[in-house]
Amino acid sequence: MDSSQNTTPPTVAEMITHKAENLTASERKLAQALLGNYPMAGLETVATFAERCGVSAPTVLRFASKLGFESYPEMQARLREELEARLQSPLTRSALPRNRAATGHPMGVLLHHMAEATISNIRSSLANIAPTELEGAIDLLADRRRSVYVLGGRFSSALAVYGYEHLRSMRADVHRVAGQSSKWTEDLLDIGKRDVLLVFDVRRYQKDVINFAETASEQGAKIILFTDQWLSPIARFARHVFPVRIETGTTWDSAAASTVLLETLLEGVGRRDPDHVRDRIEHLERLRRRPLN
């Protein structure tokens, strides 16, 4: 018997990853939404799925067809099978001894829970990022002919600062959009079609951040969005969207997966022209050693 008959069929997520290079911009939005809230987003009706992603219903049908399904209901049937298999399988356990988590100090229980939750978020988020999406975002940020603007919201501004500081050390013309939102129009004044906006927006999406990104897009800027599995409205007009898992079952959402993905993106930018990055950082270190007074 042909051994291929015994192999497990690929998941829809794996099919998306394999077909990523052939997807249109509208189809990529559907892929990002599905991977960001997998598999539940794909169990919505055609109309609901299309509206949430800002695309047409026929685009949803073409998306399912491009993945290799005869119809959208067939894709949903595969997703339901995956969901059933997931519920029937034992959950992945942490490498920590269970007796330490179950019977130890309450803080040991907390540490165990957070370790499992954040590690799961990181693995799930990075596994579902299409390599072509990552490559496209790296290409934009590494292009020194483009100016880069970085913006975050109330909590995600910490990620924006982190990304800004690293990018600023690797290349010139990196700007952080900061301060009161009433001052952001001064940054919009200079943003054009050769520029890139790296923006962070997670649930309880901020209207001022959304408006800034939308205006920048209307002026021709390429938008790179870090968001959660429910997708900020910015995803509708972003060039590249990175939805990550943020829930941990605690009071607060987690930025762990976002941070690891951002560090992956930054590493990719650094690898585009390592000689330039090394020379720039060495120059920066020499300047730091010289007193300014």
Determine how β-strand 196-200 pairs with β-strand 222-228: parallel
Question: Given this model, what pLDDT does residue 81 score?
Answer: 86
Question: Given this model, what pLDDT does residue 124 score?
Answer: 85
What is the length of the chain? 293
Is pLDDT of 260 > 80?
yes
Q: Are 50 and 57 in contact (CB under 8 A)?
A: yes
Is pLDDT of 239 > 80?
yes
Taking the mean position of all CA atoms in its chain, how far away is CA 113?
23
DSSP helix/strand/coil, 39: coil
Question: Given this model, what pLDDT does residue 86 score?
Answer: 59
Per residue in 10-31, pLDDT tens?
788 778 877 888 899 899 889 8
Neighbour tally for 242: CB within 10 Å: 29
> What DSSP assignment string belongs to 107-150?
HHHHHHHHHHHHHHHHHHHHHTS-HHHHHHHHHHHH-TTS-EEE
pTM of the complete model: 0.76
- Over the Cα atoms of the chain, what is R_g? 21
Per residue in 36-83, pLDDT tens?
778 889 999 999 999 989 999 999 999 999 999 999 999 999 999 888
Is pLDDT of 91 > 60?
no
What is the rounded distance in angstroms from the CA atom of residue 172 to the CA atom of residue 184?
Answer: 20
